[in-house]
Structure 1
Amino acid sequence: MEAVALSPIPNTAVKLERELRAELAEIGVVWNSLKQVLPDWIDSAFQSRSGIVELKTFLSRNAGLQLTSDGHLTTKQLPAACFKTNAATSVDQVTAARSMATACARLVAKATKTPYTRLPDEADAFREKILKYGDKAWMDLSMLLSACWMHGIPVLYMPSLPVQGRKMEGMVTFVSGRPVIILTKKVPHPDWLLFILAHEIGHLAKRHLPEDEGQAIVDDTVEVKAGDDRDQQEEEANRFATHLLAPGGKEVTIGKRLPVAAEFAAVAQKYGQDNGMAPGYVILNAVHNSSINGKKPYPLGQAALKLLLAEDDSSAADLCKNALRERIDVNLLRDDSIEFLEKLDLL
C-alpha cells in the first residue's frame, strides 16, 4: 500500500475564521485590520456557528455591511453617490471605504446632541462669524471643527479604515437627519486637514449634498489648485475653502529662490499673523501653488511645518477626537458600538 500524504483537519474556530476572512475579502474588507477594532468577545465567536451569526449581526449593525437571506455578508446598499475620483481611481476602489465610513457616521449622528442647522452659503461671512468666537486672527483646525459641531455637523477622522483599495481624502454624507463629514487622509500635522475640511464644508454650504438618507459626495483627492478637469461643484467648494481660510481667498506662492525650511517657517509665521491666515495653511498653500524644477516642493513644506511655533502639540486625531467626545451622548449608543468607535480611535 502506497503512503498517502495526510493533512490535519482544521479545528472549528480556525475553519470558521478562515471562511469569514474569505467572505470579507470578497467585499473589500481586510479581516486582520478589522479584527483589531472589534469588541473583545469576538474571539469566542468562532467557537460555534451561532457565534458567527452574532458577529455578523454586529458587523451589519456597525460596519456598513448587511446579511443576505442565506447568511452571507455583503456591502450595504447605499444611494448612488457623487464620486469625485481622478482618472487613476475607479468608484469600486472607494466603495468599501464609503460603506464603513457611512456606518460610523450614522452611529455618531444618532448620538450628536446639537440639532442640525444649515451652514451660511457665503464663506467670507462665515469666516467672520467663526473668528469672533476664537482667540486667533486666523482659522485653525480646532476652530473649524467647533464651527461644524455648533451647526450639528459631526466631523470624523478615520485615517485607518480596515478596507482594501484606496480611501477617499474627504467625504460628506447625510445620515440620521444631518450631514456628517469624514476625513481619512493620514497627515503629520493638523494644518494638512484644514483645506480638506474647508472643502467638504464648502460642499455643504453650497448645497451640493442632497439631504436624503445615505446621499454622499466622495472626494478621492482634494486639491487646492483648480484645474481644467475639475467640475463646477469642485470649483465652488475650492473657492469656498480658500475664502474661509484666508481673507478674500488670498493665495500665495514661493518666489524664484527656494528658501530653507527654517526661513520658510519664519516667513509663513509672520505672513500668517499679518494676513489672517494659519501659518501652516500659508506653507501648504504656497507649496500647492508653486513649482520648483517642475515639481511641487512638498518635502520643503513638510519640513517647514515641523518648525512652526505651536501653542500645543495636539495631533489632528486628538483634536477631532476631543471635539467628538464633547458633543455626543454615548448613552444613546450600545456598549459594543461605543467600544467599536473607541477602537477606531474616534472616541
Structure 2
Amino acid sequence: MTGTTRELRKRLREAGLSTEAVEAAWPVWWEDGAEASPSARAELRFALARNLGLSAKALVGERVEFVWRDTARFKHLADVGAEARAALNSFGASVGGALVRSTTPGPGLVGISAADLRGMLLDGSATVDLLGLLTACWSTGTPVVHLRVSPLATKSMHAMVVGNGGRHAVLLSRDARYPALTAFTLAHEIGHIALGHVGGSGIIVDAEDPASGADGDDEELAADRYALELLMGSPDPDIRINFDSFNSAELADAVLRAAPEYGVEPGTLALAVAYRRDAYPVAMAAMRFIYGSGSPVWKAVNQVAARELDLTDAGSDSTAFLARILELRDG
C-alpha cells in the first residue's frame, strides 16, 4: 500500500469532498503513529469508505471511487461537475442509510395524502408547524436531520430525500432563523416521498429553496402543491391581502392579523403570499417582524434527532461521524 494520510486527504478533496466532510469522516481513533501499521491504514480506509459512500477496495488501492453515481436526480443544480454530483450522491446515500438503520421502522409516508396527514397533525394543534412535521416524520420511521457539514466545498444543496430499502430520510442543509422557512422545505420533501417521486432507493436533491417558487418541473410543482395543502389546507389557497403592493412590515402585520382566520401559522402564511404574489424577498424581510430576531432552526431539528436516533448498533466510527455532521455532541 502506498501513500500517506496527507495524500489521502488531498485525494478526497480533489474528488470533490469538502475538507469538513473529510475530517468529520476521519475515525476518532486515528493517530499519526498508526501510519506505520498496514492493518490500521486499511481500517482507516474502510471507515472513510463507509462514511463517505466510497468503494473500500478502490480506497485501499489509493483510488477514490464513489459507490453511488446515478441514483440521484438533481433539481436546479447548476455549475456542478459530474464528480461533485457523485460526491453529493454518495455522501447522501451513506448518511441517509445510516440514519434509516438508526431509526425505529414505521409505516412511512409513501401514499399518504396531504389532507390526511394535515388532519392527523391538527388533532390537538391549531396549525401545522415545523414541530408537528418533525413529529409526523419520526413517528412514521422517517428520520429528519439538518446537516452541519456540507459534503461539497461550496454548498449546493437546500435539501435531499434519500431512499433506502423502501424507507426514507430527509437531509436539510440550508440554514434558517425562522421555522416557517424550514417547515415549507420539509413539507415539500415530505411531498416528494408521499407522491412516490423518490422510490425505494432513489435520491432527490433540491438545490434551491422550494418556497421561492418552482420553475416548471412537474415533480417540483406537485411537491409544492402537496406542501401548500399540508400546511394550509389547500393546494391553491385563497389568500386575500387587501392591497396590491406591500412592504415587509405591512405583510407581517397583515398575516399576523389574518393567521387565526385562516388557521395557518403566520410565517407560513407570509410564504404562501410570497408564493402567489412572486414576492419572496419581501416575505423573507417580513420574518423578523413576525418572529423577532429568530434563532438557528437547525438546533431544534437536530435536538429532535438526538432524542430519536438509536446509535447503539451504528458502530463507533459511524456514530462519531453522525455526531460530527449533525453536531449532536462533541465527536
- What's the TM-score once normalised by structure 1's chain length? 0.81
Residue 27 (structure 1) aligned with residue 27 (structure 2): no
Residue 334 (structure 1) aligned with residue 320 (structure 2): no
Task: Name which of structure 1's ranges 48-57 and 85-94 shifts more when overlaid on structure 2.
Answer: 85-94
Candidates 127, 137, 162, aligned match of 2:118: 127
Separation in structure 2 between the aligned mates of residue 278 and residue 119 of structure 1, nearest angstrom = 25
Paired residues for 1:12-161 under 5 Å: 16-31=4-19, 34-35=22-23, 38-44=26-32, 47-48=35-36, 50=38, 51-67=40-56, 68=58, 70-85=61-76, 93-132=84-123, 134-135=124-125, 137-161=126-150
Q: Do 1:253 and 1:285's aligned partners in 2 also have CA atoms closer than 8 Å?
A: no
1:275 corresponds in structure 2 to: 262
Could you tell me which amino acid in structure 2 is paired with residue 57 of structure 1?
Answer: F
Separation in structure 2 between the aligned mates of residue 326 and residue 158 of structure 1, nearest angstrom = 16
Q: Do 1:191 and 1:281's aligned partners in 2 also have CA atoms closer than 8 Å?
A: yes
1:302 corresponds in structure 2 to: 284
Alignment CA distance shift 1:158-1:24 (3 Å): same
Separation in structure 2 between the aligned mates of residue 274 and residue 221 of structure 1, nearest angstrom = 31
1:174 corresponds in structure 2 to: 163
Separation in structure 2 between the aligned mates of residue 35 and residue 191 of structure 1, nearest angstrom = 32
Task: Name which of structure 1's ranges 234-243 and 117-126 shifts more when overlaid on structure 2.
Answer: 117-126
2:304 corresponds in structure 1 to: 323
The CA deviation at 1:54 is 2.6
Separation in structure 2 between the aligned mates of residue 253 and residue 75 of structure 1, nearest angstrom = 50
1:9 corresponds in structure 2 to: none
The CA deviation at 1:275 is 0.6
Could you tell me which amino acid in structure 2 is paired with residue 304 of structure 1?
Answer: A
Alignment CA distance shift 1:253-1:74 (3 Å): farther
The CA deviation at 1:222 is 4.2
Q: Deviations over 1:298-332 (max 9, x none)?
A: 2x43343223258x976321222122222222212
Alignment CA distance shift 1:253-1:53 (3 Å): farther
Q: Deviations over 1:41-85 (max 9, x none)?
A: 334366436344332211111222223162423212355323223
Residue 285 (structure 1) aligned with residue 275 (structure 2): no
2:326 corresponds in structure 1 to: 345
The CA deviation at 1:165 is 4.2
Equivalent residue of 2:116, what SS? helix
Q: Do 1:105 and 1:156's aligned partners in 2 also have CA atoms closer than 8 Å?
A: no
Q: Deviations over 1:78-107 (max 9, x none)?
A: 553232235655665443223212211111
Task: Name which of structure 1's ranges 235-244 and 172-181 shifts more when overlaid on structure 2.
Answer: 172-181
Alignment CA distance shift 1:36-1:325 (3 Å): closer
Q: Do 1:112 and 1:154's aligned partners in 2 also have CA atoms closer than 8 Å?
A: yes
Separation in structure 1 between the aligned mates of residue 31 and residue 251 of structure 2, nearest angstrom = 51
Number of positions where the alignment pairs a residue of Structure 1 with one of Structure 2: 321
The CA deviation at 1:260 is 4.7
Q: Deviations over 1:170-227 (max 9, x none)?
A: 222211441111211222222211121111111111112222x4x2122222434655
RMSD: 2.9
Separation in structure 2 between the aligned mates of residue 151 and residue 35 of structure 1, nearest angstrom = 32
Candidates 246, 249, 252, aligned match of 1:258: 246
Q: Do 1:253 and 1:289's aligned partners in 2 also have CA atoms closer than 8 Å?
A: no
Q: Which runs of 5+ in 2 are unaligned?
A: none
Equivalent residue of 1:20, what SS? helix
Equivalent residue of 1:332, what SS? coil
Q: Which runs of 5+ in 1 are unaligned?
A: 1-14
- What's the TM-score once normalised by structure 2's chain length? 0.84
Structure in which a larger fraction of residues adopt helix? 2
Could you tell me which amino acid in structure 1 is paired with residue 228 of structure 2?
Answer: T
Structure 1 or 2, whichever has the larger Rg, is 1
Separation in structure 1 between the aligned mates of residue 304 and residue 131 of structure 2, nearest angstrom = 8
